[in-house]
């Protein structure tokens, strides 16, 4: 039997998890000539393909089209109440997802030279991992097992039918009249707006004082007003005391803190369906990390700046590491890991100074670096340059001029500390700022860069223009005035 037959001998790398981090690690290692095995316990493609980015953005695009039809008068068109089949929208989402699935399939990765094993992985020792009846040995291991939806400890929740992002895209078989969304984070707010635009009465139940807890209060108020204007009900500062099935529906008993009533209020909410979007938990159970000597906490696997675990030859990447549970961060982690395994004498460190993220509401919320709340919490002095989207000509002619940008710079300079964009296409517009932060290009240089007219991207130049105008002190204004006068004498 050949040493290089599938499962035999020693691999350069064994990867646990077939999500974004695991797939990129496996493909890159194989492409560079390494012998690699990939273990996936459920579905290739992981959370992003099956339960996250891909299906949610497909639904969001359908909901946006429905909303545009309802608002036709913005473009001189008649207002139309669209006719559509709710379940056919879901079928369309699944068809679009199916077009991407082959890229992450077992067959494709085997064609790339990766040995793919389907089953649960469990360490037997720091050098061995078991999957099914096979024991795989490797010089290096990469744990990229991801995270799963967490259920909050609400009495009665597990006794009623509920969905998470891992089930709602494939197991919702009829349109609910009313939907309660537990959790006002990115997943909760994105799907709340989507379901509402698809004709479902939606209520967000958020325990924290505000939805989107990591965003600045003015950003949250902007989005909250947008949601409430659309008809989405938001119960923030709301503690769900109990959930129970009642008369064919699901009843929430809620105690809510209110700004105007120190004693709060009790709210009863009856709905047809429940979506839980209240956080994520790392997929640690079953890996037998103790046998491998790999340290972890309830928040995930502990790694150093090189993404090494407490066992230097075992790396971890993606959501199971954090602190940012994004597909693009899993991609970034994987590239760091591949480099560090291949060239261990010159290791690369992770750099989180310019991490972009986007919440795909309408309008989108995109962030990189610090926001005002972060800067204040860290006692960092900053200058703020903001600009309304209503001052951007392309936004006006498109009929999408609701939003703004906030740019924080180091006090007294144009070095960008962070940017928040609330706008259509904010996730795309953000990357000019991400690049600038990564390579220390100041806000003044952005203002000096030619931007095509008319584009939404002009909002970046306009923010830069505000920075330049801030440098015009009374002295420089007098100096320029003197120079102009002198030029015409």
Question: Coil, strand or helix: which one is 163?
Answer: strand
Contact call for residues 281 and 150 (beta carbons, < 8 A): yes
% of the chain exceeding 70 in pLDDT: 98
Could you state, in order of their start, the residue ranges of all structural domains in the chain?
10-44+105-149+281-342, 157-279, 356-470
Write out the two tokens for 282: 């790392």
Contact call for residues 187 and 319 (beta carbons, < 8 A): no
- Token match 């079928």: residue? 91
What are 424's strand-pairing partners? none
Confirm whether 10-44+105-149+281-342 and 157-279 share one CATH topology: yes
Q: How far apart are CA 467 and CA 456, in angstroms?
A: 19
- 3-state per-residue secondary structure call for the chain: CCCCCCCCCEEEEEEECCCHHHHHHHHHHHHCCCCEEEEECCCCCHHHHHCCHHHHHHHHHHHHHHHHHHCHHHHCCCCCCCCCCHHHHHHHHHHHHHHHHHHHCHHHHHHCCCEEEECCEEEEECCEEEECCEEEEEEEEEECCCEEECCCCCCCHHHCCCECCCCHHHHCCCCCCEEEEECCCHHHHHHHHHHHHCCCEEEEECCCCCCCCCCCHHHHHHHHHHHHHHCCEEECCEEEEEEEEECCEEEEEEEECCCCCCCCEEEEEEECEEEECCCEEECCCCCCHHHHCCCEECCEECCCCCCECCCCCEEECHHHCCCCCCHHHHHHHHHHHHHHHHCCCCCCCCCCCCCEEEECCCCEEEEEECCHHHHHHCCCCEEEEEEEHHHCHHHHHHCCCCCEEEEEEECCCCCEEEEEEEECCHHHHCHHHHHHHHCCCCHHHHHCCCCCCCCCCHHHHHHHHHHHHHCCCHHHHHHHHHHHHHHCC
Residue 229 — pLDDT band, cuts 50, 70, 90? Answer: very high
Write out the two tokens for 312: 């230097």
Q: What is the pLDDT of residue 488?
A: 75
Q: What are the residues whose beta carbons fall under 8 Å from the beta carbon of 229, sequence distance 6 or more?
A: none
* Rounded average pLDDT over 394-421: 97
* Rounded average pLDDT over 442-460: 97
Bond before 351 cis per omega within 30 degrees = no
* Rounded average pLDDT over 198-205: 98
Q: What is the pLDDT of residue 259?
A: 61
Nearest CA-CA partner of 59 in 191, 156, 171, 187 = 191
Q: What are the residues whose beta carbons fall under 8 Å from the beta carbon of 360, sequence distance 6 or more?
A: 56, 57, 60, 186, 190, 427
Q: Is residue 1 pLDDT above 80, yes or no?
A: no
Q: What is the pLDDT of residue 489?
A: 61
Q: How far apart are CA 298 and CA 312, in angstroms?
A: 21
Q: Is residue 262 pLDDT above 70, yes or no?
A: no
* Rounded average pLDDT over 187-195: 98
Q: What is the rounded average pLDDT for all residues in the chain?
A: 95
% of the chain exceeding 90 in pLDDT: 92
* Rounded average pLDDT over 311-331: 96
Q: How far apart are CA 268 and CA 272, in angstroms?
A: 14
Q: Dmax over Cα atoms in the chain, in whole Å? A: 96
Write out the two tokens for 334: 């994987």
Residue 322 — pLDDT band, cuts 50, 70, 90? Answer: confident
pLDDT tens-digit readout, 330-389: 999 999 999 999 999 999 999 999 999 999 999 999 999 999 999 999 999 999 999 999
Work out the burial of residue 252: count CB atoms within 10 Å of its CB; fewer than 13 is exposed, 13-18 middle, 19 or more buried.
Answer: buried
DSSP state at residue 312: T
Bond before 462 cis per omega within 30 degrees = no
Topology (CATH level 3) of domain 157-279: FAD/NAD(P)-binding domain (3.50.50)
Q: What is the pLDDT of residue 267?
A: 96
Residue 264 — pLDDT band, cuts 50, 70, 90? Answer: confident
Backbone phi, psi, residue 52, to 5°? -125, -110
**What does DSSP say about strands 404-410 and 238-246: parallel, antiparallel, or unpaired?**
unpaired
What CATH number matches the domain at 356-470, 1.10.1740.10, 3.30.390.30, 3.40.50.300, 3.40.50.1970?
Answer: 3.30.390.30
Architecture of the domain delimited by 10-44+105-149+281-342:
3-Layer(bba) Sandwich (3.50)
* CA 364 from centroid of its chain's CA atoms: 12
Tell me the H-state helices in 104-235: 106-111, 168-171, 186-197, 217-230
Q: What is the pLDDT of residue 4?
A: 79
Q: How far apart are CA 240 and CA 27, in angstroms?
A: 45
* Rounded average pLDDT over 436-453: 97
What are 357's strand-pairing partners? 367
Q: Is residue 12 pLDDT above 60, yes or no?
A: yes
Write out the two tokens for 165: 């992002």
* CA 198 from centroid of its chain's CA atoms: 22
DSSP state at residue 308: B
pLDDT tens-digit readout, 95-153: 999 999 999 999 999 999 999 999 999 999 999 999 999 999 999 999 999 999 999 99
Q: How far apart are CA 221 and CA 231, in angstroms?
A: 15
* Rounded average pLDDT over 36-45: 96
pLDDT tens-digit readout, 151-183: 999 999 999 999 999 999 999 999 999 999 999
């Amino acid at each position: 039997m050949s040493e290089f037959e599938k499962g035999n001998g020693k691999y350069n790398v064994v990867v646990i998890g077939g999500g974004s981090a695991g797939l990129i690690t496996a493909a890159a290692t194989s492409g560079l000539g390494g012998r690699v095995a990939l273990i996936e316990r459920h579905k290739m493609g992981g959370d992003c393909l099956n339960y996250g980015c891909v299906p949610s953005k497909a639904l969001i695009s359908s909901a946006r089209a429905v909303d545009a039809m309802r608002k036709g008068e913005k473009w001189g068109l008649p207002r139309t109440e669209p006719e559509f089949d709710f379940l056919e929208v879901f079928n369309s989402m699944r068809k679009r997802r199916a077009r991407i699935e082959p890229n992450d399939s077992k067959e494709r990765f085997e064609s790339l030279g990766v040995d793919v094993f389907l089953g649960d992985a469990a360490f037997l020792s720091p050098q061995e991992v078991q999957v099914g009846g096979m024991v795989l040995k490797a010089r290096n291991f990469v744990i990229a097992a991801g995270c799963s939806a967490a259920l909050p400890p609400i009495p009665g929740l597990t006794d009623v039918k509920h969905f998470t992002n891992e089930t709602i895209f494939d197991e919702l078989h009829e349109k609910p009249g009313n939907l309660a969304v537990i959790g006002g984070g990115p997943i909760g707010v994105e799907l709340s707006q989507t379901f509402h635009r698809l004709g479902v009465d939606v209520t967000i139940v958020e325990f924290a004082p505000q939805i989107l807890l990591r965003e600045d209060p003015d950003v949250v108020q902007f989005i909250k007003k947008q949601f409430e204007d659309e008809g989405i009900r938001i119960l923030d500062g709301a503690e769900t005391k109990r959930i129970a099935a009642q008369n064919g529906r699901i009843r929430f008993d809620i105690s809510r803190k209110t700004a105007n009533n120190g004693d709060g209020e009790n709210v009863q909410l009856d709905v047809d369906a429940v979506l839980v979007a209240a956080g994520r938990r790392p997929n640690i159970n079953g890996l037998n990390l103790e046998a491998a000597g790999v340290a972890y906490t309830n928040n995930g696997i502990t790694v150093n700046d090189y993404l090494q675990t407490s066992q230097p030859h075992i790396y971890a990447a993606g959501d199971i590491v954090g602190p940012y549970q994004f597909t693009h961060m899993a991609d970034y982690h994987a590239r760091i890991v591949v480099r560090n395994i291949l060239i261990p004498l010159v290791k690369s460190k992770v750099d989180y100074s310019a991490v972009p993220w986007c919440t795909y509401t309408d309008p989108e919320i995109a962030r990189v670096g610090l926001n005002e709340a972060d800067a204040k919490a860290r006692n960092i002095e900053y200058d703020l340059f903001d600009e309304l989207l209503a001052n951007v000509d392309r936004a006006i002619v498109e009929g999408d001029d609701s939003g703004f940008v906030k740019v924080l710079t180091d006090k007294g300079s144009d070095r960008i500390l962070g940017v928040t964009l609330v706008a259509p296409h904010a996730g795309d517009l953000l990357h000019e700022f991400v690049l600038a932060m990564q390579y220390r290009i100041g806000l003044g240089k952005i203002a000096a860069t030619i931007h095509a007219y008319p584009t939404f991207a002009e909002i970046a130049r306009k923010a830069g223009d505000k920075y330049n105008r801030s440098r015009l002190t009374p002295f420089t204004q007098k100096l320029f005035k003197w120079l102009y006068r002198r030029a015409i004498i």
